[in-house]
A and B are shown apart, each in its own frame.
Chain A
Amino acid sequence: MNALREILALLRLYSQQFKTTFASMVQYRISLFIWMISQILEPLVYLIVWSTVSNSSGGSVGGYTARGFAAYYLVLMLVNQFTYTWIMWEYEYRVRQGLLSFALLKPVHPIHSDISDNLSSKIITLPILMFVAAGLALIFKPTAAFNWWAGLVFIPALILAFLVRFLIEWTLALAAFWTTRVNAINQVYFILMLFLAGQIAPLTLFPNWLQIVADILPFRWMLGFPVELLLGRLSHAQALLGLAAQFAWVIISLVLIRVIWRAGVRVYSAVGA
């Protein structure tokens, strides 16, 4: 009974937070739009670069034709948008301004409002991005070997990718408790993401040892894996193994969050306290 009541309360919290964020997103729609430019431009640039390479080396590079790259990067653009978070910048600001004190006073864990914040902004940005991706698809004419089972497995893979990325980046954001130079940490993180999640190139284009590193670390499972899955580039076994790895990373990051959050709150002292 108690558990049920808690879940209901949490749902109410989510829907309320949802309305608030939605209203503020509509208010700041121009910033949202401008911020989306870089979300679109980065994969677009790599799409163009790799298509050029593919065209100039006999029509195919590492199993990708120019149109194959188009499919890869357009799906990557959408998956990236779906799993994206900006929580590291948010936390740095909260800790620096002492705003976290209010969040700590509330009777629920602050991660809940962050999750619903993140989801509600995507309800606005995703349709716009899908529209853009459709337009780009007309220009670059992507092709992929789509199949039904991969399409079905893609949905849980996408949700797990979001969870892994959200939990990992939320943990990383807690670095703000210990240092004010979060930017340098974030930069390292983004570079790892660039290479090991499949942003700079599909991971199969990398040397073998780097692919093994990417399999062990969480980055691939936040972005590259669902993309390759949807494009029909993975076998059944690879898909299952991927889901298992995603699951493992969700659990690892949940444990990490518990430990680091407790330690962090103990270190935190608001300005003026």
Chain B
Amino acid sequence: MNTLRLIYVFFRVSVLNETAYRVNFFVQLFQSILELGTALAGLAVIFSYTQSLGGWRPNEMLALVGVYFLVGGIISLVIQPGMAALIDSVRDGTLDFTLTKPEDAQLLVSIQRVAIWSLLDLLMGTGVLITALVLLGKSVGLGEAVQFIGMLLAGAVIVYSFWLILASLSFWFVRVENLLEIFQSMYQAGRWPISLYPGWLRFALTFIVPVAFATTVPAEALTGRLGGPTLLEAIGLAILLFAIARVIWRLGLRRYSGASA
């Protein structure tokens, strides 16, 4: 309960901060629409030459684009800003202020910064997803809906844990911003079904940089092509990565010596 209250407070502060810069809203709106338009136009070019891409029909690909924007929105809404701020605060020593607060420090650093205009990506992703489902003309059963939400959550946890692990490396190394860039550029590959890629790339996008679980797997759940093993794998990996991230964060904190110590 306390966690939820904290999240609410931090979110509110971010909203108040950001509403001072209202032009940013329109700039972000412009950029998000452009990005979505590009993605859709790209699909249009490809599907003018084929009926299905690696077994995915146009409307199913549309659902995947929706998930891509939805998850990308979550990443740029909380995960990316918080982790970037964590790296900065470890280097500057301002993490001291967070550590002195009587709450779990991992929670505090994770929600410290919210880029609220990224909600636009989240909303657009959802919109595209709903459109895709309507076009697919099939009613999503309760089972599929539960699976989808479960896989979306698992994907978000996996991505969050992965970022926290990378960001925690800043306790040992000074320059790790670049590592975060790797995820950002590999994430683009998640706009296409992971099954298209050759084995080595699929492996890299699943287990080294876990992009597959963030986009392809939830979309598979929604379009009813998710197998039981993948489902269990996603949940297992989410729990495992979260635990590993927690341990590395703890070890890092023990190493952290503050700005003036």
Binding site for B on A (CB under 8 A): 30-31, 34-35, 37-38, 41-42, 44-45, 48-50, 52-53, 56-57, 61-62, 139, 181, 183-184, 187-188, 191, 194-195, 200-201, 205-206
Contact = CB atoms under 8 A, between A and B. Distances in A.
Nearest to B184: A38
Interface in B169-185: 175, 178-179, 181-182, 185
B123 to A, nearest CB: 19
Q: Which interface class (under 10, 10 to 19, 20 to 34, 35 or more) fits B?
A: 20 to 34
A195 B41 contact: yes
Given A52-B196, A188-B34, A38 B188 contact: yes
B178 A31 contact: yes
Contact of B34 (A35, A56, A61, A187): A187
A183 B50 contact: no
Nearest to B24: A181
B243 interface: no
Contact of A49 (B27, B46, B175, B186): B46
Given A35-B181, A37-B182, A41-B185, A200 B45 contact: yes
B17 interface: no
Nearest to A33: B178
A187 B33 CA distance: 11
Contacts, number: 72
A38 B49 contact: no
A62 B45 CA distance: 12
Contacts of B45: 200-201, 205-206
B230 interface: no
Given A30-B178, A56-B50, A139 B185 contact: no
A59 to B, nearest CB: 12
A195 B52 CA distance: 21
A184 B188 contact: no
A56 B182 contact: no
Interface string B175-215: 10011011001101100100011100100000000000000
Contacts of A62: 49
B53 interface: yes
Contacts of B54: 52, 56
Nearest to B197: A48
Interface in B131-176: 175
Contacts of B94: none
A57 B181 contact: no
B38 interface: yes
